Chain A
């Protein structure tokens, strides 16, 4: 979609379209290529960053994301560690002819899905916090 065409309102971007990257020095720079300095005037960034609500949003995100990341990395890396160095433990039968190695590998899928859903649930709260924060600064 050429940025110069106001009638083409189809916003479905595609990878690899010639228009993904604006030719240098000929057209206006697309939004995604702008730098922080070029968008400095858009909002009072420092005031928002200093707001206690913004700080509590960051803290609330960190409270979920940091432990969740540590947990999923540990759970995931436990698989190659256990399978690689403790094969006698992992080749024991768990149930129905399946060994613990397979059950643990399969549980990674469940783990990934559960963490993803918990994240989405937690993120709904952050959306509200962020919207309230921005509303305060729009007024």
Chain B
């Protein structure tokens, strides 16, 4: 089936490519018009001035359901079965951390970014500088994952193009968007994207079930007998419902610990993601923030349950050995290839276009906010003492930053082309959970917390997670697949179980090493605001 499938993709790629381009163009037009509203069409949304709970919930879901969840999780399940499902579970349960711990205090305090929260009661300049560095790092990791997905998609649509050229092309396109400020990830773009992605996923799930005559037991029976080619070339049947194909103690003695480490990063990381936190600023009050998290949880949960249909569907209908692009097994392409096989040319083009547009929207939004906050919080605050020396300097610095970050992301995405994008996003979560989560939580709930603690916590969490990733088996390996050809110094692929406690510990120890009575005095104001919402209504009219 492999050759026929590939042949079909190659022969009909012109139709698919044309439709793909049409869908992407349509999305860009929608994006353009919804971004236009920011520049003055006052009456456009005059009736609904404020984002309602379910709208914001959809936007949160749209921000969150990046290509990584759609392409990555489906691919992970298609190749590794049950263990890939652990990502789905973690990504959803993570929202309980957001709902119970950070969403309402942030909304009530009227804070927009993590830097705002920290600067509110601590010394603004150092905490803003560190917060912007960590935001930039998390965004870069996120961007690499999205570019790997986009590169593989383009490669699939244009079989003649090499992966390197595809990634570079996508990357340059994204940088052009960002540097010229053409595309803004508005709430409305995210809402449209979420709806399209949900519709596509739902339809594909129905097609998978139809393939099994809507007989769930037949489906599960097929999942427990997936043919997998082992290293020596023989085909063995594996039960994909059984846990442990990746993280089992039998496969790797560190596996179970790695799984827990991944779990910690997922449930802690979401509450530290810059593009999720800012969504709570867009609603009028804490009650709406709360309702929007619940809506997001319902939508995201339904989406992740459906990714299991896509993943298991690809595993059973296509089988892992046929999920190949350009001769290489590419788990990230499991969902698009499944769409092609079950839904034909049009549906394949639709799914690819939605995934591609998703990548553009997420990356453009993230890069603009990260580079702007770097220019504002790091460059102007730290280097120029809070004053722009020339008009437009901040914008210029932001553009340079976006360019540099984009170039780094292109370089790393080319190196990491066969890595699963959900795994890459998992690393972004680990960095967010190690650096951002400790300081956000401590600054909301701990009176004694001070500037030294915040700066140290951010720096240690950031460094620990990055260093542990660099010396982990995903970067260092002896089989030539890693970026560094050497034996890994750290046994786990996911750094969370070490770096998250380190981030907390560093923040707590550094806090106890210094006293800052002013920061403690300001905590009263923070506590009253976070719990009552007093003063937050003013924040909306910015």
Query: Contact residues of A with B, CB < 8 Å?
Result: 1, 3, 5, 7-21, 23-26, 30-37, 39-40, 42-43, 45-46, 48-49, 54, 57-58, 61, 65, 68-69, 72-73, 76-77, 79-81, 83-85, 87, 90-91, 96-99, 101-102, 105-106, 108-109, 111-113, 115-117, 119-120, 123, 127, 130, 133-134
Which stretch from B93-101, B160-168, B334-342, B451-459 is at the chain A interface? B93-101
Cβ contact within 8 Å between B259 and A25: no
A residues in contact with B3, CB < 8 Å: none
Task: Give the CA-CA distance A35 to B525 in the complex, in Å.
Answer: 10
**B100-A10 in contact (CB<8A):** no
The stretch among B293-301, B351-359, B421-429, B430-438 that forms the contact with chain A is: B293-301
The main secondary structure of chain A at its interface with chain B is helix
Contact A99 B531 (CB under 8 A): no
Chain B residues 150-175 with CB under 8 Å of chain A are: none
Q: A7-B42, A9-B46, A98-B220 are in contact. Are A36 and B121 (CB under 8 A)?
A: yes
Least Cβ–Cβ distance between A75 and chain B, in angstroms: 8
Min CB distance B147 to A, Å, is 18
Contact, CB under 8 Å: B260 / A80: yes
- Cα distance, A18 to B375, chains bound together (Å): 12
Most buried by A among B120, B525, B538: B525
Does the CB pair A91–B255 fall under 8 Å?
no
The answer on a CB contact under 8 Å between B528 and A11 is no
Residue numbers of B with Cβ under 8 A of A are 35, 37-38, 40-42, 44-46, 49-51, 63, 82, 85-86, 89-90, 92-93, 95-97, 99-101, 104, 110-113, 116, 119-121, 124, 181, 184-188, 216-217, 220-221, 224, 241-244, 247-250, 255-257, 259-260, 262-264, 267, 275, 278-279, 281-282, 286-287, 290-291, 293-294, 297-298, 301, 304-305, 364-366, 368-369, 372-373, 376-377, 380-381, 386-388, 391, 394-395, 522, 524-528, 531-535, 538-542
- Check A24/B387 contact, CB under 8 A, given A18-B181, A98-B241: yes
Q: Is B260 touching A102 in the complex (CB atoms < 8 A)?
A: no
| Cα of A93 to Cα of B167 in the assembled complex, Å | 44
Given contacts A76-B263, A84-B247, A130-B533, contact A16 B256 (CB under 8 A): no
B38 in contact with A1 (CB, 8 Å):
yes
